[in-house]
Each structure stands twice: as structure tokens, then as C-alpha cells.
Amino acid sequence: MGKQRDLSTGIVAQIQALRQQGLTQTKIAEQLGISQSSVCKALKKNCSKRTNCSGVRKTSARDNKQLRKIAVSNRFKSTSELTDLWNKQTGADVSRSTTYRRLRELGFKSRVPAVKPMLNKKQMEERLKWAKEHGEWTAEDWQKVAFSDESRFCISFGDQGPRVWRRGGETYNHECVKRSVKFPQSVMVWGCMSARGVGKLCFLKKTVNAAVYQDVLETFLIPTVEEQFGEEDFIFQQDLAPAHAAKSTKDWFTKKQLEVLAWPANSPDLKVIENLWAIVKWKIRDRKPTTLDQLKQNIATAWEAVSAETCDKLVKSMPRRLQAVIQAKGAATKY
């Protein structure tokens, strides 16, 4: 590509005049029939300092305050949508790039929203009560717990969805998080772990009812806890899925003389095994399997590669998780 020709003195003068009238670089370029980069170059060349190259500042402190209110009230709007709202409410004529710069100046950054489950008032109260009841448990106490969970893995992880405008420290604010939904059908996996390492992994082939769940526990949980705890006492953790809370499942635990830890509903941030699933999914996300067999192999390989040190570190975070729930008064936490 040849070197761009310098603009004539007349064109440069027109650019400066239009800029002083408040027109954006894009509009100046359209009006004069030249490229936006040429307009930018002309403005920079005629400025003594780079900070003055953008011309007269088009927004006032009052305008910027209004933008802050708009951003806080419209967390999931795009920059273009926020620009339209800002122009409509203030009567200004600012560009998308100006809106973006002002948002940055106000401390907002466009980020992928954190995903947290919807908690109702009763669930928050139960979470707070449970956290206080177990608040005195030490890391050593939690090392005696075997955690379990199911997770769905997909061949395609899809995109990350819409972004959200937020400032520092607002990652887990109620209005800044995206609500989770069910994953598309793929392969469901059951697993367990403790501070001593990961347990046996089970790929579920059908819907998990009470009978199927008890068979999974018999085949995969019992050998794991025998290997990890031997004759030592331990407590088993599970969530409140229907198959877990069924009367026949409770009878199975009684028959096996296994102590089950009471658990608050809708509390994935308290389950350290959730973080373990995230680690496994991160490890396999770039492998791009094309068949379920390939996906299962990737999952098994990543699961077996998780070290006992990683598991122990996750379990030792339990006291901090409980304190976070107490501080949040039962609401979702960063975990």
C-alpha cells in the first residue's frame, strides 16, 4: 500500500472547524469524504499535546454523573445502547467511543458476568443459619468430609454470553451476575473427593433416580472412602437432589451406617467439588472432542491428573466460605 498523501491546508482547516463545532471524527470524515484515520492524523498534527487532540470535551460533570446512573440501571446494555440512552436523556450528541471512554473514567469495565443461582429469602436464611452452625468447624474437621456431586459436560462449551458493565468490587453484586440455566444434553458425571484426593468417577448412562443413585454409591463411593479413610470416621456430603433425599436412599445410608452432612439448598458456592469440576472443564476446554467417547476420555484423564494437594487446598477453604456466607447474610458469595 502506498504512502497516504498529506491533506491540503484547506481540508485541515475544515477539519479543525468542524471539530470545534463538536462533530466526532467519524462524522467529519463522512462529511469531507476522507478516512477517519486522516482526520485523526490531522488533528494530532495540529495539537501541541496529545491530551488536547480530541478537541473540546463534549460532556460536563453533570452529564457524566447521568451516565453513571444509566450504567448502574442498565448493567447488561451494550455501549451503543448506553450511548443512545445517554444522548436521549441529556440531549447531547456523543459517539460510542466517547461513551466508552467516560465509562472507563467512571471505573466501569465490560466483563463477562459471574453466574450464580437465584436464591429466595428462605434459602438465604437457611444458608446463613447453616453457616453459623458450622462456623466453628476447623480445616481439620472439613478434612474428614467426603464431598460428592454430579456435573454435566458438553462437547461444545458455547460462547460466554452477554457482558455486563461493572466497577471494581462489583463482580458478585446481585445486579451484575448472570443467572445460571441448565446445560444442553451431553454426558453427566458423578464424582467424589476429599482432602486426600479425588475419588472414583462414574459416567451416568440414564436418569438418576433413587435406585440408580444407590447403585452409584455402592459401586463408586464405598471403594473410594475405604481407600481414603480406611477405618477412620468420615462424613458424607451430598446436595438435596430428589434421588439423594429419597426415603430409600436415607434407608441405604442407615443400613451402611454412613453419616450424612445436612446441606442447605441451592448452595454450589459451599461445595468445594464445584471448583474441582471447573478445574477439569478448564483443562479439557481446548481439546475439542468430536464424540462422547473422546469427551469421556478427556474428562477421565483430567480428573485423574488432579493432585491431592489441590483437593486439600480446596477443602481448607471451607471455613472462609462459611464466613463469606455469614458476611453476605446468606446471599451468593464469590466462591
- Specify the pLDDT at position 84: 93
Give the model confidence (pLDDT) of 69-82 as tens digits: 999 999 999 999 99
- Specify the pLDDT at position 158: 47
- Taking 50 as the threshold, does the pLDDT of residue 51 lie above it? no
Share of the chain above pLDDT 70, in %: 91
The mean pLDDT of 266-286, rounded to a whole number, is 92
- Taking 80 as the threshold, does the pLDDT of residue 191 lie above it? yes
The mean pLDDT of 159-184, rounded to a whole number, is 72
Give the model confidence (pLDDT) of 116-144 as tens digits: 888 999 999 999 999 999 999 999 999 99
Task: Single out the residue of 225, 165, 222, 168 nearest to residue 195, CA to CA.
Answer: 225
Grid coordinates of 55: 478537541
* Averaged pLDDT of the chain: 88
Domain assignments of the chain as residue spans, ordered by start: 9-46, 61-106, 121-328
In 96-226, which ranges are E strands?
Answer: 109-111, 115-116, 145-153, 164-166, 178-179, 187-194, 197-198, 202-204
Share of the chain above pLDDT 90, in %: 62
Q: How confident is the model at residue 13 (pLDDT cuts 50, 70, 90)?
A: confident
Q: How confident is the model at residue 161 (pLDDT cuts 50, 70, 90)?
A: low
C-alpha span between 18 and 27 (Å, rounded) = 9
Exposure on the CB side of residue 163, measured as CA atoms within 13 A? 11
- Specify the pLDDT at position 157: 53
Within 8 A by CB and 6+ apart from 116, the residues are 172, 177, 178, 179, 180, 269, 332
- Specify the pLDDT at position 55: 56
- Second CATH level (architecture) for the domain 121-328: 2-Layer Sandwich (3.30)
Strand partners, 115: 178
Strand partners, 110: 165
Q: How confident is the model at residue 147 (pLDDT cuts 50, 70, 90)?
A: very high
Q: What is the longest distance spanned by two Cα atoms in the chain?
A: 93
C-alpha span between 203 and 188 (Å, rounded) = 6
49 exposure class (CB count in 10 Å sphere: 0-12, 13-18, 19+)? exposed
